[in-house]
Structure 1
Amino acid sequence: MSSVDIPREQWATRFGFIFAAVGSAVGLGNIWRFPFQVGQGGGAAFLLIYLLFVAFVGFPAILVEFVVGRYTERNPVGALREIGSGLWQYLGWIFIVTTFVILSYYSVVAGWTIRYTILGLQNGYLADAAEAEGQFVTLATGLEAIAFHALFMASVVVIVAYGIQRGIELAVKVLVPLIVVITVGMAVYASTLEGASEAYAYYLSPEWGTIAAEWTSILPAAAGQAFFTLSLGMGIMITYASYLGEDRNLAEDGAIIIGFDTAIAFITGLIVFPILFTAGVDPGAPGAGAIFVSLAAAFGDLTLGWLMGAVFFGTVAIAALSSAISLMEVVIAYLIDERDIDRTRATLGVGVVLFLLGIPSASDLVLLDLFDLFADQILLVLGGLLLMILVGWSLANLAVDELELGIGDLGSLGAAWIWAVRVPVVVVLFVALALGVIQYYEFLTVDFADWLADQ
């Protein structure tokens, strides 16, 4: 039987798709990466640039991925092979590679969240910042980190193996509402802390001088964060949209998904920064483990901090799971569509490979930074940029026609969307990519070179 003869699964309900897409977007990008990106970017200065990216780059871009996925009903590789020609047909492989790189270390970080949830229940957070950092290094690397990486990856495999309706859709219908309820509740708790007013000023009142002085570092970080948290540039939204019917209003669904995702990221800031300021912890500490060290030290200094920490890190673990299943589904959809491999066998095989690829990240934090920066500031933006160029300049009529299904005649709005993709989105992504490459080169020649010298 050829792959085109295999009946393709679809979402059972509209909310199933929306929850899955929201679950993909609301993950470690919102709760792990977002706070320390805001901290390193100067607080509200980063937040402002990030929100502009989400509105004026993220929304047009997510519609591009939606129309490509629904039109082709294929995974990223199959979709780009169908609509692309020449070298463009290989663009889908960038998405597959990006997914593999991200999920390999994503699972490691998600394992940390499970470990820190347990640590909270053991009342094990250390209030001293130096001790908290030492504790993190011990827990985040070595055999224990590898074991929790394996536990998390096994959880992802089980859910994805059950398929779209019985696995992914069923899981996200439980996970996403749970994430929303807990984060809102914790934001209310954080507002009662004594450092809340100072934290809100830092988080919500941008200093224009910071933007003017630091825009070359804020711009690529904000672009990468917007793409990371919206699951763009990974092929996820292409894959998820491939399971949609033609009667769906893609623009409405896209707005709902982005609204939910951005709200959760914003609320996370309302949780994290009051906790950090109350405990007197620096919100701008660098590195992938910054939020774990800073928050653990803060929770260790608060009354009932062990309980709040367990709830917080448990929520992060749930969010990570909802995102990880979407990352794995990109690769599984490729193996099912293009290689006629049974879903269960494909999922088990991919899970084992990803576990092995994640071992270096679980062994050394510098290697995790190496993969994270490469995926975040180069691969995500590169894949997104090339897809925007292809669809905006070569497939404009096809894209508008597909977007109009389920909506009706868009008239001038369709042209406005295409021109937004063609010019501002492409230009911003190109600049962000160039700056990202420069920053990654600096990382390789300084931090990574120092690490190699010490080996």
Structure 2
Amino acid sequence: MARETWATRAGFILAAVGSAVGLGNIWRFPFITGQEGGGAFLLVYLLFVGLIGFPAILVEFVIGRYTNLNPVGAIRELGGGAWNYLGWLFVAIGFVILSYYSVVAGWFLRYTLIGVTDGYALAGPEEAGQLFGTVTTGIDSLLFHAVFMALVIGIIAAGVRKGIEVGVKVMVPAIIVLLVGLAGYAFTLDAAGAAYAYYLTPDFGYLAANWTSILPAAAGQAFFTLSLGMGVMITYASYLGEDRNLASDAGVIVALDTLIAVIVGFVVFPFLFAAGIEPGGPGASAIFVSLTSAFSTIPGGRLIGVVFFAMVGIAALSSAISILEVLVSYLIDEVGVARVPASVALGVAVFVLGVPVTIDLIFLSLYDGLADGILLVLGSLLLAVFVGWVIPDVAREELAKGIGDLGGLGSAWIWIVRIPIAIVVIVSLYLGVVDYVDFLTGGFADWLAAR
């Protein structure tokens, strides 16, 4: 079976950006930023993206392009032995993340429909909370989880060129246009100045006092939003030719993803400040409850709400297809299953795994804390060790293809991967494990005891 490839460079870049620009940027980024101190978190997050994210995405690119295989096959070919389990870790991460990702994406589809049919006029804080409970659990949540997964399955089943590439060439430009338009509108609100000050001015005292929570949150957000540590970028790079300049492509992808995340803050925080809502509400409900309350008070709020929630739904779709592609590429490469049945079978399995999240939101915290705080960071750490210490020569040579003589830059990149990235990721992993254990022995244990 001939392996598919990208038709154009733009197709690859837009697919990678589409993978990176999703719920991580538009749903998760604002409420994590609010919870972790606004500008203090933004500063640490940007440092992580530039100093850790860019070198780390190159790690996945060189593995994918060198092997032209899915993550399981790629790691087996390059390392073998105990390293084979790393490829399986990526498959497991993809299953977990997409299962709850699809549920949350379904919420955005439902909120879009609510805006079209009923608007958000009754969504004061109390009513907004009631609406969130209705949308996020029960038959509504299950139905829209199914609708979203059906869309993802359809695009992946159509293939790399006719499905993924065609889809992202429409979705990613649409996301950018809608986001820039919303940011322009938010700029006109009276509270925009105060919102920008909160968002852009780091409080170093707050940072010093709360670094143990800010550091793992920023690391997890950086890995999540760049789709690192789950094999997505290995898979996408496996469809590349050897003439591609991986460093240049990585720079464009990281820059676009980060720019979009930053613009999201210029949209969300002015909306919240204009409605007199404090940012930093706890958990997944923060953006939904806060923004629907805001849309009920700001001028043109109904239309703005529909556009915002629709944009997030599109962004979620562009990311979700990348995660399912990791799983599907495994069945195609390793088992020889055709693309359509592989897409349907795996999509249905992911849907079933996500069903508990539609029943009780405690499962969202259970899945997300494990995947984002531990597994993504662990996957990135093991990849850094693998490339930095096991296959450094192969990695340097692969990176040089399409670039030319790297001089000392190739060795510098390897040492960044070996030491600084590994140290920072180890610290973040430790803090993430501590946070997750606290959740398991606290909130989750209390939930189990109440059953």
Q: TM-score, normalised by structure 1?
A: 0.98
1:155 aligns with 2:151: yes
Matched residues in 2 for 1:50 and 1:406: separation? 30
1:191 aligns with 2:187: yes
Matched residues in 1 for 2:230 and 2:52: separation? 16
Whether the 8 Å contact between 1:83 and 1:89 is mirrored in structure 2 is no
1:122 maps to a residue whose letter is T
Aligned to 1:313: 309
Report the 3-state secondary structure (helix = DSSP H, G, I; strand = E; otherwise coil) of the residue aligned with 1:382: helix
* Residues 79-88 or 60-69, more deviating: 79-88
Matched residues in 1 for 2:406 and 2:248: separation? 13
Deviation string for 1:83-106 (max 9, x for gaps)? 113211221011100000000000
Aligned to 1:279: 275
Matched residues in 2 for 1:133 and 1:127: separation? 8
Matched residues in 2 for 1:259 and 1:184: separation? 16
Matched residues in 2 for 1:438 and 1:426: separation? 18
1:361 to 357, 364, 368: 357
Deviation string for 1:302-329 (max 9, x for gaps)? 2221110000000000000000000000
Matched residues in 2 for 1:328 and 1:343: separation? 11
Matched residues in 1 for 2:417 and 2:2: separation? 33
1:342 aligns with 2:332: no
Matched residues in 2 for 1:198 and 1:444: separation? 37
1:138 aligns with 2:134: yes
1:444 aligns with 2:420: no
Matched residues in 1 for 2:282 and 2:29: separation? 12
Q: Which structure 1 residue ranges, 4+ long, deviate > 3 Å from structure 2?
A: none
Aligned to 1:3: none
Matched residues in 2 for 1:112 and 1:93: separation? 30
Aligned to 1:290: 286
Aligned to 1:114: 109
2:34 maps to a residue whose letter is G
Whether the 8 Å contact between 2:157 and 2:340 is mirrored in structure 1 is yes
Matched residues in 2 for 1:65 and 1:365: separation? 32
Deviation string for 1:53-110 (max 9, x for gaps)? 0000000000000000000100000001011132112210111000000000000000
Whether the 8 Å contact between 1:98 and 1:234 is mirrored in structure 2 is yes
Report the 3-state secondary structure (helix = DSSP H, G, I; strand = E; otherwise coil) of the residue aligned with 1:260: helix
1:63 aligns with 2:58: yes
1:153 maps to a residue whose letter is M
1:88 aligns with 2:83: yes
- Which ranges of structure 1 fall in alignment gaps of 5 or more residues? 1-5
Deviation at 1:183, TM superposition (A): 0.3
Deviation at 1:288, TM superposition (A): 1.4
Aligned to 1:332: 328
Matched residues in 1 for 2:248 and 2:316: separation? 25
Whether the 8 Å contact between 2:79 and 2:390 is mirrored in structure 1 is no
- Across the aligned residues of Structure 1 and Structure 2, the Cα RMSD in angstroms comes to 0.7
2:208 maps to a residue whose letter is A
Matched residues in 1 for 2:119 and 2:141: separation? 17
Deviation at 1:356, TM superposition (A): 0.8
Deviation at 1:289, TM superposition (A): 1.9
1:223 maps to a residue whose letter is A
Aligned to 1:371: 367
Q: TM-score, normalised by structure 2?
A: 0.99
The aligned length equals 450
1:299 aligns with 2:277: no
1:25 to 5, 11, 20: 20
